[in-house]
A and B are shown apart, each in its own frame.
Chain A
């Protein structure tokens, strides 16, 4: 292909305008200036190409060359993704450090996303044989990428024909050819990796409705506002309300096969903290370091703004790729607001007509496109695989005000909302999920699954809890006027039980080794314990036992403490509690 080059015509921060590129293509990658800074054509007007540059533009001069590649910004997909820390352009940050031999990120560094010298053990998957017709997604071989992730080498999307040749089992580098697919007179060489444009959703066979919950180990999610595999959720909240801690907990503990953490325009120190704990902590199900199933994309707030967009798109592309292998993937993006702000900045530089609060009119459609890439699917190819991408996006509204454009538009596209509340955070109620504002539209989808595992009790108990908490809010308004003692006994009990739900059940300290991950069974027991207390206390009150007598009991305290026990100890403590409660009640009623 003849080289297509143009010249820099204008430079304004991350926006560069180029002229003379022969027929520039939307979203093609260009190399800007003598240093070859990476950029993407985001608008073409007449003969001017507007380029969003993903690296610092200081020092560029008008007239420098711009080289168009004709290629879309793409991710490299293959073994070596897991445990890597990438920047927004999928450069492994450790490699950048090696290349520049410095503690700082420098621009213009080109390093491969996947290491070209690492050798991977490839084993042919014998369900597909040489001579067979193959389709996109067919698994031709396997690579054990980490002790817990088997990487499936698939025929890339768009390639089908006859499997002409396949490499024997052995060690290969990512760009070694491991198979040849012949279509008519064309031959396609399948390597351990292929490239896929980050802006284009990867194809699948069929989208499935949500059915199973993604177990997160966080009670307020699993048992109050559950998330389904393939679900999409927003976590908005003012600063310090716990978005990052919640997202990190999800990435750590949830029953996902792969976890992808996108740090988009946020802090470097918390990224370092996460990396350290992912190396140290072990996965609940397989008892291996969490890092062995995780990928980090770290585009911190001081790194070029334009790359915030690519970091989010890169994350979701990697997620889809593992989904296609049949895995349940969790993608958390912290924070989507920083991406939206980057869009606003570029749009401003392009002098586009600003929408609300300066955000471009296409903010809503960008958010929609992103969240639409979540879902549970039947993947392309054989053997049949089902995989999912579950997305949690943090949103950081200015002043904690949820009426701003990013929160509002996000809520149009997600199915679950975990509204983090400044007051709760100030009172150190964590996770600070406001139970009155939050919701999950997955409740009905996962009801069967959870009821089956809780002797049919979960859904009913959840509804009881929701009612008690709502009633508490009404009662607290009254208490503010007249004080708590003026309430009737039953209402006082409601307040008591509501507090038990809040402190004994909803609150969950992310750093408590016994409670950071709460398995379903533990949560069910706590729910039962509270419900039992509620029922017993209610019947006592109805037989005229005053509430202060009930308050003197020991057993309620045991409910508060249940969550502090390790999962395997909870049942015993629960049984103790049931017994103690019984004995105490007998005493109280003179029985």
Chain B
């Protein structure tokens, strides 16, 4: 027990989720606070301290807080969560409390949810290919361990299905190492939350999954805490338990909205479109927790999912995310309308770590060149689609028509894939060759030796 006073009723004001309290001696910046309101205990955090006044951010609303009656108590520590491998298979709220009816976990440690920055000098460049079994991702947007690669989606697009397909199918080629999924859902509807839980149960993956759910109705601060709680767990499993962790966080747009709400309550000068100026840093401190580190067996891979307001990629939420993550998988409403699943726009999408993760020994020797060829041929097809919209298909040469055919087939056969269909990287690359065979052979800017080896015309049936 501390010797000095750790609680007070001297509240001098309240506004939004902020409570102004007379400063107690030794109040620490960032420490956790308990507020007793009408028999219920709410949590809060110290966000500004001066000699006289301490500003407390309440996790929840300040409803019912009354100067003189409400008790504010300092906890003397920052927000920490208990962690242990027992968390696998369990479901928690945004503050790390079990919500699946099961018992509290037996903690192996308590960790500060804000974590510490990884030492840049100890990082290893991510380079191990994760096979998702989804052609457009494995072939065109390769994901590697330790990468942070978001899905930029729009309302009504099948991002959740894609995420679940990845969780179900993701594996690292040629390794039977221990793998865990940390799943965090921020501000999702009850239906969505149940979809995830049922999917995870259904695929038998629940035992290697830790799920965190903060429904839409949860207080903003719980939504702000959730991704940090989830990533703290991910780090624990990766760095202390040697696991390869894939952390999926959805829907980060809800997180950003909560951030905006709280910033407004604090009357901060708003940045672009009302989002706080520090949103970049705030998101970065979470996403930078992804990585691979010297001397550690585990890894943290992060896949945030967000819905772009109005499908606008220049909106601050996708924009700032794109400035932090190592690429993005962008979903296209046009492709979705055409009935293509997963409707990935390969032009707007990018995996920046791809070049490290593909090639001989990782995927296949021809992957680099096949990728470039698919990209440029699809782009050419796309360009021709625009031209025929003006001048009609008649004015095109035979060669051009082949490119158009290629673009159509590429969408229908390569991008398009069943929700439960799993294609190995070899299947994906062979499929790519089948489609490239539509084009005249002299159009292929691929090394002869690969053409001879993989082009269907020469390929001995394997």
Name A residues whose Cβ lies closer than 8 Å to a Cβ of B: 9-12, 17, 57-63, 85, 92-94, 96-97, 102-106, 238-240, 263, 265, 267-273, 275-276, 298, 300-303, 305, 338, 341, 344-345, 348, 354, 357-358, 396, 398-401, 426-428, 480-485, 511
Whether B27 pairs with A358 at a CB distance below 8 angstroms is: no
Residue from the list B27, B289, B319, B387 in contact with A62, Cβ < 8 A: B27
Residue from the list B25, B49, B121, B324 in contact with A267, Cβ < 8 A: B324
Whether A97 pairs with B27 at a CB distance below 8 angstroms is: no
Whether A483 pairs with B277 at a CB distance below 8 angstroms is: no
Nearest CB of chain A from residue B61's CB, rounded to whole Å: 23
Whether B119 pairs with A104 at a CB distance below 8 angstroms is: yes
Whether B288 pairs with A57 at a CB distance below 8 angstroms is: no
Whether A62 pairs with B120 at a CB distance below 8 angstroms is: no
Contacts of A17 in B (CB 8 A): 50
Complexed CA–CA distance, A17 and B391 (Å): 69
With A10-B50, A269-B125, A396-B323 known as contacts, the answer to whether A61 contacts B115 (CB < 8 A) is: no
B179 sits at the interface (CB 8 A): no
Complexed CA–CA distance, A276 and B268 (Å): 41
Residue from the list A9, A302, A426 in contact with B50, Cβ < 8 A: A9
Nearest CB of chain A from residue B275's CB, rounded to whole Å: 10
User: Which partner residue on chain A sits nearest B55 by CB separation?
Assistant: A12
Contacts of B271 in A (CB 8 A): 357-358
Name B residues whose Cβ lies closer than 8 Å to a Cβ of A: 23, 25-31, 47-51, 78, 114-126, 146-148, 239, 268-272, 277-278, 280-281, 284-285, 288-291, 293-296, 314-316, 319-320, 322-324, 326-328, 347-348, 350, 352-353, 355-356, 375-376, 379, 387, 390-391, 395
With A93-B121, A341-B277 known as contacts, the answer to whether A300 contacts B116 (CB < 8 A) is: no
Complexed CA–CA distance, A401 and B273 (Å): 14
Whether A61 pairs with B27 at a CB distance below 8 angstroms is: yes
Whether A103 pairs with B390 at a CB distance below 8 angstroms is: no
Residue from the list A59, A63, A426, A428 in contact with B25, Cβ < 8 A: A63
Nearest CB of chain A from residue B210's CB, rounded to whole Å: 21
Nearest CB of chain B from residue A8's CB, rounded to whole Å: 8
Contacts of A482 in B (CB 8 A): 390-391
Whether A60 pairs with B323 at a CB distance below 8 angstroms is: no
Whether B119 pairs with A301 at a CB distance below 8 angstroms is: no
Q: A103-B122, A341-B278, A399-B272 are in contact. List 19 more A-B contacts (CB 8 A).
A: A10-B50, A57-B30, A58-B28, A85-B120, A93-B119, A93-B122, A103-B118, A103-B119, A268-B118, A269-B146, A272-B120, A272-B124, A276-B125, A301-B280, A338-B280, A341-B280, A400-B314, A480-B390, A485-B395
Q: Which of A11, A97, A345 has the most CB of B within 10 A?
A: A11
Complexed CA–CA distance, A93 and B48 (Å): 30
- Of all A-B residue pairs in the complex, the 8 with the closest CB atoms, nearest first, are A301-B284, A58-B30, A93-B121, A104-B116, A483-B391, A239-B322, A272-B123, A302-B288
User: Which partner residue on chain A sits nearest B368 by CB separation?
Assistant: A511
Complexed CA–CA distance, A103 and B350 (Å): 29
Nearest CB of chain A from residue B82's CB, rounded to whole Å: 19
Whether B49 pairs with A104 at a CB distance below 8 angstroms is: no
Whether A399 pairs with B314 at a CB distance below 8 angstroms is: yes
User: Which partner residue on chain A sits nearest B239 by CB separation?
Assistant: A103
Contacts of B281 in A (CB 8 A): 265, 301-302, 305, 341, 345
User: Which partner residue on chain A sits nearest B48 by CB separation?
Assistant: A12
Contacts of A61 in B (CB 8 A): 26-29, 49
Residue from the list A9, A267, A341 in contact with B288, Cβ < 8 A: A267
Nearest CB of chain A from residue B441's CB, rounded to whole Å: 15
Nearest CB of chain A from residue B197's CB, rounded to whole Å: 31
Nearest CB of chain B from residue A290's CB, rounded to whole Å: 16
Nearest CB of chain A from residue B340's CB, rounded to whole Å: 19
Whether B121 pairs with A269 at a CB distance below 8 angstroms is: no
With A59-B31, A239-B319 known as contacts, the answer to whether A269 contacts B353 (CB < 8 A) is: yes
With A269-B125, A269-B147, A301-B324 known as contacts, the answer to whether A348 contacts B119 (CB < 8 A) is: no
Nearest CB of chain B from residue A399's CB, rounded to whole Å: 4
Contacts of B348 in A (CB 8 A): 426
Whether A302 pairs with B285 at a CB distance below 8 angstroms is: yes
Nearest CB of chain B from residue A404's CB, rounded to whole Å: 9
16 contacts between A and B (CB under 8 A): A97-B121, A240-B322, A265-B284, A268-B123, A268-B288, A271-B123, A301-B285, A301-B324, A302-B117, A302-B288, A305-B281, A341-B277, A344-B277, A348-B277, A428-B376, A483-B395
Contacts of A396 in B (CB 8 A): 323
Nearest CB of chain A from residue B52's CB, rounded to whole Å: 9
Residue from the list B30, B125, B277, B327 in contact with A273, Cβ < 8 A: B125
Whether B390 pairs with A483 at a CB distance below 8 angstroms is: yes
Complexed CA–CA distance, A428 and B377 (Å): 12
Nearest CB of chain A from residue B314's CB, rounded to whole Å: 4
Contacts of A428 in B (CB 8 A): 375-376, 379
Residue from the list B119, B124, B277, B375 in contact with A97, Cβ < 8 A: B119
Whether A348 pairs with B269 at a CB distance below 8 angstroms is: yes
Complexed CA–CA distance, A344 and B277 (Å): 8
Complexed CA–CA distance, A96 and B296 (Å): 18
Complexed CA–CA distance, A103 and B299 (Å): 13
Q: Which of B121, B272, B387 has the most CB of A within 10 A?
A: B121
User: Which partner residue on chain B sits nearest A17 by CB separation?
Assistant: B50
Contacts of A265 in B (CB 8 A): 280-281, 284
Contacts of B295 in A (CB 8 A): 103
With A62-B51, A269-B126 known as contacts, the answer to whether A354 contacts B289 (CB < 8 A) is: no
Nearest CB of chain A from residue B410's CB, rounded to whole Å: 16
Whether B119 pairs with A96 at a CB distance below 8 angstroms is: yes
User: Which partner residue on chain B sits nearest A263 by CB separation?
Assistant: B120
Nearest CB of chain B from residue A304's CB, rounded to whole Å: 8
Complexed CA–CA distance, A256 and B331 (Å): 43
Nearest CB of chain B from residue A414's CB, rounded to whole Å: 21
Whether A11 pairs with B49 at a CB distance below 8 angstroms is: yes
User: Which partner residue on chain A sits nearest B285 by CB separation?
Assistant: A302
Nearest CB of chain B from residue A68's CB, rounded to whole Å: 19
Whether A62 pairs with B49 at a CB distance below 8 angstroms is: yes
Contacts of B148 in A (CB 8 A): 269
Nearest CB of chain B from residue A90's CB, rounded to whole Å: 14
User: Which partner residue on chain A sits nearest B294 by CB separation?
Assistant: A103
Nearest CB of chain B from residue A405's CB, rounded to whole Å: 11
